[in-house]
Amino acid sequence: MKKTFLNTMLVIAMAITLVQCAKRGSPTGGPIDEDPPEILRAYPDNYSVNFKAQEIEITFNEYIKIKDLQKQLVVSPPLKNAPLISPQGSASKKLTIKITDTLAPNTTYTLNFGQSIVDNNESNPYPYYRYVFSTGTYIDSLQLKGKITDALNFKVDEFVNVLLYKMDEEYTDSLIFKGPPLYVLNTLDSLSTFTMENLAAGEYRMVGIKEENRDLKFNPRSDKIGFVSDPVTVPSDVVYELKMFEPELDPSVKKATHEGKSKFFIGYTGNLDSLKITSQEKDLFDKTRITKFEKKDTLQFWFQPELELEKDTVFLNFKYKDFEDQSKVTLKDRYLDSLTVKKQGDISLAKPLVLTATTPIESYDLSRMKVIDKDSTMVNFDAKLDALKNELTIEFTRGESQRYILEMLPGALIDFYGKTIDTTSFNGSTRTAGDYGNMEITLNGGQNWPAIIQIVKEDLTVVAQKTATDNGAYSFEFLDPGSYLVRVIYDANNNGRYDAGNFLKGIQPENVVYLPAVIPLQANWDVRETVILE
């Protein structure tokens, strides 16, 4: 009996072991399918002429599904009513396209699916499928080649729409705001070069738009644009360049609000840093001052005296060069701003001590300030006020591994309201020169001056810049270790900054040249690079 029980338990143990082994060694289903789906047939045939069908059916060798259709599908010329595509949200061996619009006569149409058609199991894409047909007796077969570049950025945008407008008697530049173009192509996420196919002969305006809402209309507030200055001729062997840029908006005052007891915020577009602001009511303000937020297109308009609470609104006039506007400001119960001074960033061998305040700095008195080092030795210094940025820079010679203290007595700084600070101090320490890296950038071949040399991070934050007026070497010292790009801006109008283009005025953006690679900079390193200018 005991032996029978042991035999039974042995059989059960062996069975469990075999089951577990079977589980561990179960089939994996074979190799992963890496092949894209194949088209077995299309009806009507691809590249059909005298096309009159309302429905197109394309059969594949396996189940397919549609992925990112809204982003990938481009119909050229655009249709007012988008075709209905199935399957969506399910899988099928057939792709069905229903035409819901009236097709133009004698016109070649292209439906470019990009990589939106994928197999159901592994999502292998059918690469850049194009269905082409003509409502006339032949398929237009001409081409245009081009490339996408970026006016200011190091990297080129993906998914740029390339638009062609027929330059006939009905063409105006305002068509880019109204649409649609005659032909359209999307660069998708492929290379920055492109080929527009199945075009008819003629003259066209070529425009590129990196847009948000995909309506094939240019929105200056959200879209980037690039354009070819001269008409584009089809056929042509030229490789046309679309240099994309964010347009500078026309000057406008968006909104004026009451944000402090004697302070308005003025939101604007365009270049209005030097905007003149006055009240329509005579003698309403005895004294005014304008400051600007660093990273916002908003001005702070400070005024004296405080406004009477009995007033409900104030009307302001705005003027800058040819720009004029006016706005109504609704008054609210607000507190008066108090004066607080802060240190902006840290002191270093490359950067001086910079102070900023919550109210406008009106004046400063060097006799009521002193700078001392860690040995309590007095250090000679000077100061400079940037009124628009509301920044007071304390400049002095800074040594390595040194600690400095700026001491300020009452009266050292007076704000817009005549208020001053209590006795206060700010301190900071420098590191050694070996903690930083240095760059020497040599310009060669330049003929158009001035040029702005900028050292920028990979996110395009500018860390250092110098203005060059001739070929030669320019030094950038005490840079933090990291990865950097070097770019040179051709400052054509000598205003000290990059200027974007303007499509309606036919102005291209200022030229920018990058070194072709990211530069790694380590501590205690010197890097020398040469930029060849045109």
Per-residue pLDDT of 122-181, as tens digits, reads 989 998 899 999 999 999 999 999 999 999 999 999 999 999 999 999 899 999 999 889
Residue of 207 and 270 predicted with greater confidence: 207
Q: Where are the beta strands (DSSP E) in 459-500?
A: 462-468, 472-479, 482-490
Residue 496 burial by CB count (10 A; 0-12/13-18/19+): exposed, middle or buried?
exposed
Residue of 33 and 116 predicted with greater confidence: 116
| The predicted structure's pLDDT at residue 305 | 93
Q: Is the dihedral of CA 59, 64, 68, 72 positive or negative?
A: negative
Residue 59 has pLDDT above 70, yes or no: yes
Report the candidate in 315, 331, 337, 336 with the shortest Cα–Cα distance to residue 253: 315
CB 287 within 8 A of CB 304: yes
Which segments of the chain belong to CATH 2.60.40.1220? 39-134, 341-431
Model confidence at 309, pLDDT cuts 50, 70, 90, reads low
Greatest Cα pair distance, the chain, in angstroms, is: 118
> For 299-311, what is the mean pLDDT?
89
Phi, psi of 533 (to 5 degrees): -95, 155
CATH no., domain 341-431:
2.60.40.1220
> For 62-89, what is the mean pLDDT?
91
Give the chain's end-to-end CA distance (angstroms, integer): 101
> For 303-309, what is the mean pLDDT?
87
| Size of the chain, expressed as the number of residues it contains | 534
| The predicted structure's pLDDT at residue 20 | 45
CB 436 within 8 A of CB 350: yes
Lowest mean pLDDT among 29-43, 51-65, 108-122: 29-43
Residue 99 has pLDDT above 90, yes or no: yes
For the entire predicted model, the pTM comes to 0.83
| The predicted structure's pLDDT at residue 412 | 97
Report the candidate in 289, 302, 465 with the shortest Cα–Cα distance to residue 388: 289
Residue 450 has pLDDT above 60, yes or no: yes
| The predicted structure's pLDDT at residue 15 | 46
> For 440-462, what is the mean pLDDT?
96
| The predicted structure's pLDDT at residue 71 | 82
Domain 39-134 coded CATH 2.40.30.10: no
| The predicted structure's pLDDT at residue 258 | 96
Residue 484 has pLDDT above 90, yes or no: yes
The CATH class given to the 435-532 domain equals: mainly beta
pLDDT by residue (tens digit) across 224-242?
999 999 999 999 999 999 9
Residue of 7 and 372 predicted with greater confidence: 372
